[in-house]
Structure 1
């Protein structure tokens, strides 16, 4: 195995004996000078194939210890769920955990609700969510709220397929593009569509559309949280409501308040990201 690029001290991009690219985890794997022609396989603890290279920059931005915990969670999920998982799950989950930790520090009083509906529908994924929250507490010394069990479970549910979710093929991508156009127009800004932040937002929208089409929307009692975010970020609430109504009309469905909450969180995130220029 050959290491071709360091991501951090314990993660590197490698090529296997068939010249297939993979992400390799191992203590000190990144200390060697790159490219490193012969890699000591004994130091590799986990490997992940087919991670979209659009997310390599995101991997570099996520704290090393957070990424390692996400990798352990995904490894456990592969054993328990025994099904194909989206190869980008480890990146998306690491990004979510990092964001959840930051969000908790900024909104200490905000408590999202644990979903008993999700627990009934997806018991294995919920148990993995509990394992993840426990692991985060032990490894990262952060006690995430119980609601994160649900959020992590849904990341796993969404990843239980070979590719990213597709609802109506090209129509879905057109709808996502239209949504981003509306956000740009509403806030008078430009979103860099080649950046990983756009791809992260687009992925959320694909899952959002998938849940609506399959009638599996989030349906918990987070009305108080929606109201709190509305008061704190009225423009974001107005934009999210506009986007939700637009999607509802397109799909002839009705988004729940909880979906609106998640849409607000993601819109707020993308408009405050460095990848966006006024």
Structure 2
């Protein structure tokens, strides 16, 4: 196996003997100068094929210790869940955990609710969410709120389908393009559609549409964070409300505050890191 690019000290982009690209984990495999051949394959603890390349930059930005814990959680999920998992589970989960840690440090007194509905519907995934929180506390010395059990569990639920089932009553691609055009028009920008922040936003929209269809919108009671962000960036709030209205035209639903908050977070990321004027 050939390591071709370093992600961090313990993660590298590699090629197998058939020239197929993968992400490999192993203690110290990112230390040597790239490229190099990994002759001792016992050094590699985990590999991930078919990960979307748009996530590679995201992997580089996640703190190494957060990434390693996330990889351990994903490995536990692979051993526990009797199904194939989406290869993009790892970067999505690592990104979520990193944001949860930042959010917790900034809003320690924020009260959020654990979803008992999710626990009833997905007991195995909820158990994995509990395992994740215990591991985060043990390895990163942060005790995240119980509501994160629900959030992490939903990452596993969503990852259990290789392809997100899309609504059949309308063209999802056209809807996403319309939403993208609205963001570009409102902020007078051109979005880099190949950037990982935009890719992450598109994936969020797909899962969002799926949750609306299945009547499983997130309910985390993020009121403090919602109010803070709304007051700080009212134009982003207005854009998120507009997007909600566009979606409501296609899938009538009362889109809740927490879902609007997540839209605001993704719009903010696009504006900050993924645009060209």
Q: Name the TM-score, length of structure 1 as normaliser.
A: 0.91
Are 1:48 and 2:48 counterparts? yes
Residues 227 and 46 of structure 1: is their aligned pair in 2 closer, same or farther, counting only changes over 3 Å?
same
Q: What residue is the counterpart of 1:12 in the other structure?
A: 12
Q: What residue is the counterpart of 1:122 in the other structure?
A: 122
Distance 1:147 1:237 in 2: 23
Are 1:264 and 2:226 counterparts? no
User: Deviations along 1:107-164, whole A, 9 cap, x unmatched?
Assistant: 3333322111111111111111111111111111222221111111111111111134
Residues 64 and 185 of structure 1: is their aligned pair in 2 closer, same or farther, counting only changes over 3 Å?
same
Distance 2:229 2:266 in 1: 12
Are 1:174 and 2:174 counterparts? yes
Residues 28 and 38 of structure 1: is their aligned pair in 2 closer, same or farther, counting only changes over 3 Å?
closer
Are 1:108 and 2:114 counterparts? no
Q: What residue is the counterpart of 2:26 in the other structure?
A: 26
Distance 1:2 1:277 in 2: 35
Q: Name the TM-score, length of structure 2 as normaliser.
A: 0.91
Q: What residue is the counterpart of 2:77 in the other structure?
A: 77
Deviation at 1:218, TM superposition (A): 2.4
SS of corresponding position for 2:136: helix
C-alpha contact (below 8 Å) 2:179/2:243 kept by paired residues: yes
Distance 1:59 1:236 in 2: 26
Distance 2:169 2:27 in 1: 41
Distance 1:220 1:137 in 2: 20
Distance 1:148 1:123 in 2: 15
Q: What residue is the counterpart of 1:275 in the other structure?
A: 274
SS of corresponding position for 2:144: coil
SS of corresponding position for 1:27: coil
Gaps of 5+ in 1: none
Deviation at 1:228, TM superposition (A): 5.1
C-alpha contact (below 8 Å) 1:164/1:203 kept by paired residues: no
C-alpha contact (below 8 Å) 1:86/1:164 kept by paired residues: no
